[in-house]
Amino acid sequence: MKKHLTILAVLSLLFVGTVSAHDGSQLWLQGSAPSVTSTLEIANAELNQSWKGAAPVLKLNKSMKALPDGSFSITIQAGTPVIQSASEVGLLYGSYHLLRLQQTGANVTDTAFVERPSYNIRILNHWDNLNGTIERGYAGRSIFWRNSADQMRRNADGEVNEEDLLHPKDAPEIPSVDRLRDYARANASIGINAYVPDNVNASPKVLTTEYLLEVKKMADIMRPYGMKTYLAINFASPMVIGGLDTADPLDKNVQKWWTAKVKEIYKLIPDFGGFLVKANSEGQPGPNDFGRTHAEGANMLAKALKPFGGIVMWRAFVYSPSDPDRAKQAYLEFQPLDGQFLDNVIIQIKNGPIDFQPREAYSALFGAMPKTREMAEWQITQEYLGHSNHIAYLAPMWTEFIQQIKEIAHCPINNALSPARSLTAISAVSNVGNSPSWCGNVMAQSNWYAFGRLAWNDELSACQIADEWARLTLFPDRDDAATTKALANVKCLMLRSREAIVDYMMPLGLHHQFAWGHHYGPEPYCDIPGARPDWMPSYYAKADAEGLGFNRSSTGSNATGQYPTDYAKVLDNPETCPYDLLLWFHHVPWGKTIQHRCGDRVARESLWNALCHHYQHGLDEARAMQRDWDRCQGQIDADVFADIQRRLRIQTRDAQWWKDGCLLYFQTFSGLPFPDDMESAVHDLDKLRAIKLGITNYECPSEELLDSVR
């Protein structure tokens, strides 16, 4: 019996390791990662294995040094491509770009252009814990960390076995070093040049010598692909692992500790990028604990990093439990510190003032600190967008944000707007784990891809990126009529997905109506006695007999006043406030007539009717996404097709749950009937109120679990 089990286990390992060409495990790439290790060799090997045509010429050209790092030019004359750059990494980017052009059917016979990145640092944040779990991760366990350093096998010299470090014990299907190389390659192919492998809720342990030695191994794998390593650090590290009795940034011993620690890191990783810090937020320690400001904390670290060229990415995600408007707090704490941060500090700001909601106003901090470097943080992992069960293509959300930042905030967060600034960056919280599809499902890879492409060129459109990604990932090497049709259907699905989610979850500017803790599914009725008020959906919806929405206008919390004057005026008046942010900024009576757009329909109707129509439209769109996908049957890898089809079924059932849960609950306040052209609810409010999924913040609920509770 035992023997049989062993044979079975070996067979299943072999099976898992054998993947068909387009099952998504290769992401958007062709061929496999070259076994060579220098940047130039990699570029040549990639071209050798995939370029069809006259051999491309790679030329280092120092005269291109004036362009941002990584810039390259491509000239193709009579079919022979010449790629030039001031750096080897630029040549690697150029090679991937050339291959992308070929694989997406673009002009590769006669062309000439220069590509330069919109942001200098294009960085993924991984919320991976050292025990291998991933906070808000829905794609398995960490590719960087295993269960515990204590459980690692060691050699006679006490060094941790590389396989054990880099690969969780319980998922042996893909060799871990290869997985990290594939990760590095995937990032380089879309221009991502940096990563933070540990959670911003950081363990001080990551700075112990034992862990730093392991980080060095990762850095060595990443380097040839132009990927710089950064670490998220715990501000109290000098106390927890340094034996000091304070972490006060003005204390000499604390400063000495950080200086020595930084030296140790650079000895191991000479091109180390710097630190990412979550301080005085959600229970994390920080300078405020010692009566110091964020600037004093950040500058202390920045001074230690400066001699080595390192930087500090200091997060502005702060809010206290007692403030009457969470949306205002980052601005209130950070804006007065403008001009006090050293020039190797950059403030990392989430796109919106609350927390990665399906739609938010942009964070008013952008553009409000002209003497401070600022960068945006997006979330690729779908904490608030149905985890890996829902199909949500996020480029439309990010391009909407970029447009607002450029046109309204006039914020110099990228080179195009402020060439004098050398420190420009953009980040996103990754959805990568050790699942075979990397991101929990194949469609979720499109958001990793879209982040990279937008970080490189923030003028690309969501549609163009969807087109590229789908061709490369779902339809490589195919160019027939059936493919063209299927591609159109996939793009249609992708491009409608974000707005569909807004509509079936939280339309018209509603926000944070999620279930407690894990944030999957609706819980506008959530009631946890004694809980932080700003973690409760009722704090945000403010539903009452009169109406719905958070009054952030000048008659309320005056969050509108934090925006540039002209825009503040537009937001402040419910008649001019964009309808899709109406309930974000205003408490609107149920019967008030509003003008809004729902799908293709522009309507004037009461808030209640408008709300009902948006929820209905969201559900209809989820069904339409199912139909878009079903039309692709036979044109997409069968396993990928079946997996996404199953997820779209879950998504549609969830959309129904959201519609019923929110509308039935808000109806207890409005007392109004659903409009005649609406479908009736299929759930009972009391039963929905009783749903508790009981999942952790590290997992996506299974279909079976969801079916068993509703």
Residues making contact with ligand GCV (CB under 6 A):
127, 135-136, 199-201, 278, 282, 317, 355, 383
Helices (H), 561-637: 565-572, 582-585, 607-630
Q: Which two tokens stand for residue 362?
A: 């942009």
Q: Which two tokens stand for residue 700?
A: 């996506």
From 410, 430, 412, select the one nearest 421 (Cα to Cα).
412
Residue 621 a catalytic site member: no
d(CA 117, CA 619): 39
Which run of H or of E encompasses 640?
helix 638-670
In order, the DSSP letters of 134-162 are: BTT--SSS-SS--S-GGGS-B-TTSPBPH
From 518, 402, 497, 378, select the one nearest 443 (Cα to Cα).
497
**Selected catalytic residue, list 383, 534, 621, 654:** 383
Do 115 and 97 touch, CB atoms closer than 8 A?
yes
Distances in whole angstroms, Cα of residue 659 to Cα of each of 297, 385, 584, 667, 710: 45, 15, 19, 12, 14
Do 458 and 402 touch, CB atoms closer than 8 A?
yes
Helices (H), 269-375: 294-305, 329-334
**Which of helix, strand or coil describes residue 230?**
strand
d(CA 194, CA 424): 13
The tally of CA atoms less than 13 A away on the side-chain side of residue 603 is: 15
Task: For Cα atoms 142, 701, 452, give the angle at the middle one, nearest 5 degrees.
Answer: 45
Do 140 and 434 touch, CB atoms closer than 8 A?
yes
For the bound state, the minimum distance from the C-beta of residue 260 to ligand GCV, rounded and expressed in Å, comes to 28
**Which of helix, strand or coil describes residue 233?**
strand
**Selected catalytic residue, list 264, 282, 459, 703:** 282
Nearer to ligand GCV, 22 or 512 (CB): 512
Nearer to ligand GCV, 210 or 323 (CB): 323
What region does 374 belong to: left with phi over 0, alpha with psi -120 to 50, or beta?
A: beta
Residue 383 a catalytic site member: yes
d(CA 549, CA 581): 10
Residue 377 a catalytic site member: no
Nearer to ligand GCV, 431 or 489 (CB): 431
d(CA 244, CA 324): 36
**Which of helix, strand or coil describes residue 522?**
strand
For the bound state, the minimum distance from the C-beta of residue 642 to ligand GCV, rounded and expressed in Å, comes to 31
**Which of helix, strand or coil describes residue 470?**
helix
Residue 419: is it exposed, middle or buried by C-beta count within 10 angstroms (0-12/13-18/19+)?
exposed
Nearer to ligand GCV, 226 or 352 (CB): 352
Catalytic residues: 282, 355, 383
